[in-house]
């Protein structure tokens, strides 16, 4: 093959690549990018969950007397947990409503560069939003329940 190339054009050296090797390199790069993005997503999830945990602990400590008064007045622990968690879920839901269309657009744009076209499933984004809301709810509900189940006498002792 190189002899035919030299007959046609002897000034340019004969260099070739195998298409399969080129495709493997391209998809290796995408696999590494996917692993890196997955790692950053996990790191983001851990940091945001720790921040939400700290914020819920701070909120429960700040509202300890209010929770104690509600308990003395006859409120159940579940009603207190509901009251405290709904304040935290509103920003999480709003953030998901803003992030879902942006994430969908970015993913569709990224997938268009590949030869094999894949349709982006909308259910994947709703599953992600549901998991985010569930993590936020569990984090805040556990801390709220701990604060609501404490003896109200301990929180009202200093008054």
Residue 149 has pLDDT above 60, yes or no: yes
Rounded Cα gap, residues 103 and 138, in angstroms? 24
Residue 7 has pLDDT above 80, yes or no: no
Q: Where are the domains of the chain?
A: 2-156
**C-alpha triplet 85, 81, 64: angle, nearest 5°:** 100
Q: Distance between alpha carbon 69 and the CA centroid of its chain, in Å? A: 36
Residue 63 has pLDDT above 70, yes or no: yes
Q: How far is it between the farthest Cα atoms of the chain?
A: 100
What pTM, to 2 d.p., does this model score?
0.70
Phi/psi at 154 (nearest 5 deg)?
Answer: -65, -35
For residues 77-97, average pLDDT: 87
Residue 151 has pLDDT above 60, yes or no: yes
For residues 14-39, average pLDDT: 85
Rounded Cα gap, residues 75 and 128, in angstroms? 34
């Amino acid at each position: 093959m190189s002899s035919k190339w030299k007959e046609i054009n002897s000034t340019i050296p004969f260099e070739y690549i195998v298409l399969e090797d080129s495709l493997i390199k391209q998809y290796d790069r995408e696999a590494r990018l996917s692993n890196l993005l997955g790692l950053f997503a996990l790191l983001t999830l851990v940091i945001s969950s720790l921040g939400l945990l700290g914020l819920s602990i701070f909120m429960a400590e700040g509202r300890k007397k209010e929770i104690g008064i509600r308990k003395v007045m006859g409120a159940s622990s579940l009603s207190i947990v509901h009251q405290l968690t709904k304040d935290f879920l509103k920003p999480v839901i709003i953030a998901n409503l803003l992030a879902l269309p942006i994430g969908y657009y970015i993913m569709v744009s990224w997938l268009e560069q590949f030869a094999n076209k894949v349709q982006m499933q909308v259910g994947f984004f709703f599953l992600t939003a549901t998991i985010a809301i569930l993590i936020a709810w569990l984090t805040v509900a556990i801390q709220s329940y701990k604060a609501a189940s404490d003896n109200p006498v301990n929180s009202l002792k200093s008054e």
